[in-house]
Structure 1
């Protein structure tokens, strides 16, 4: 009966993935990305090397905005499903802080490490940190919606303190601040290409979407329908760790993005991962691009890091979500 019902649901689910609203949203996001290409202080039309600068800086920056925004929004969606908590995302579970610690370790023991080697260290540490977070959750008896992110924020604070101490002892404190600035100012051709890895991660999440959705219902339900719960948790954690590690190495921290986007999408579309994933990626891209455009223009000719604007907006949304949850009891 379950198999029959699942087969009957497949056509309906697929039909919801792409519709005219998604097409309109995609066009709007493409318009934002096109606008990003032509916003900046350098005169790409009047300067002799304008075309060269456009190819070296503007195009890579815009592609990085899209890839990083989609990756972090998708990571928040997956983590919220796996933890069954709407307040969870990489920056409220310590995943980003672990990735930064891994980056520090790689550069300390291998100062000449390539960007792929730095990324590998960040991904490994992010995976270890996220698994530690899940182990903590299994031992916590009180699993209220607010306790879970508090645990993650506390773990992240501890790891962040260790990173700061380590960076202070190794004269890398300034580098640590730059890495976590969450800015796209330094993105140029030759530095952003590693972000294309997150496109593969998004495809993998879409492939495992149904099993991740079932795992989000709990271990008992997942086991009853034949899903290997522990394996899916490992796969989901691995995908989130890869996305977080890559974005941390290339861009830095994008706080609360994975919290804002999935909550907004789920308010209107429910919790089906497969049909929500395109919307989550598009909205994540849109928010990052808008914040970047604000950062580029609000104090021109200087730039404000995207993480500053995201942090303000994300904190406000976080408080609103907490108040709503408290009122619902």
Structure 2
């Protein structure tokens, strides 16, 4: 409990920093003493929506990664290493070309469907071609994602929508404003649903035979889990673009801290996911201020470095 309180205090501190810094600094004096109208407009129209979206995206993507790792029984699987993100982007591309006038929510549902299909394809490949080393599993996912991304790039180039494809592929919160981030609350609902059935994911992580003997419908749990992952991934990609490696790094850290009980781990996973994404965004906003580096670039660099460290650690363990 003590460490959870410390984590919440750290999150609160990062939230405060996120609200105050940016191209234009907003100070508490501007808000509470001089009551600057410009400062209030910046705060409530931009900074508050941006901070909320960072927390929602970080927490939900971390939980999605945790679910994928339990269902695949591999610590190196997450939406960015299984083709899920690329599949979600591919769905957005197709629906933009075929029905550009659809509401954003309906476009997201199409993206959910393609993300679900891509993730199911990844798991089907693993099931039909068992790999001796768990280190090869994320490489299969990265190759699958590369194939899907190549197809999406070809189509986007052919129909002159490469700019949109790049936007979906790079997580960027700089354009988040009031009225343009609310779709992320869908990912929050999905994360709450994941917590509600967390015990089933823990049992499903033991394998089909064991979980079935313990009274869990393995296939149904698998479908629900993949649905939650697809819903979270699609809502984040449709709103702010791809946020890679959060679902890989954070669940591994939480697992080292408290083990693999999903119900116990979900609050920690959500907290650390929000802290990680908020921290990376603050770094991106301060390095070349008043300009900023997109969050996807910062998370990609840090996440890939940690990913390599985790692979090296696992290599020494598995020989």
| CA positional deviation for 1:277 | 0.5
Partner of 2:110: 121
Residues 80 and 88, structure 1, Cα contact 8 Å, conserved in 2: yes
Partner of 1:106: 95
Partner of 1:295: 284
The answer as to 2:202 corresponding to 1:220 is no
Q: Deviations over 1:59-79 (max 9, x none)?
A: 100000000000110111000
Partner of 1:35: 17
Q: Hey, what's the Cα distance between the residues in 2 that align with 1:91 and 1:151?
A: 12
The answer as to 2:39 corresponding to 1:50 is yes
Partner of 1:240: 229
The answer as to 2:314 corresponding to 1:325 is yes
Question: How many correspondences in the alignment?
Answer: 311
Residues 103 and 249, structure 1, Cα contact 8 Å, conserved in 2: yes
Residues 106 and 117, structure 1, Cα contact 8 Å, conserved in 2: no
TM-score normalised by structure 1 residue count: 0.92
| CA positional deviation for 1:275 | 0.6
Partner of 1:278: 267
| Greater shift in the superposed pair: 315-324 or 240-249 | 315-324
| CA positional deviation for 1:49 | 2.3
Residues 182 and 306, structure 1, Cα contact 8 Å, conserved in 2: yes
Partner of 2:3: 21
Q: Deviations over 1:182-235 (max 9, x none)?
A: 110000011101101111111111111011100001011111111111110000
| CA positional deviation for 1:48 | 4.2
Partner of 2:154: 165
The partner residue of 2:219 within 207, 214, 230 is 230
Alignment of 1:119-158 (within 5 A): 119-158=108-147
Residues 194 and 250, structure 1, Cα contact 8 Å, conserved in 2: yes
| CA positional deviation for 1:37 | 0.4
| CA positional deviation for 1:43 | 4.5
What RMSD in Å do the two structures reach over aligned CA positions? 1.2
Point out where structure 2 has 5 or more consecutive residues left out of the alignment: none
| CA positional deviation for 1:143 | 4.3
Partner of 1:5: none
Partner of 2:256: 267
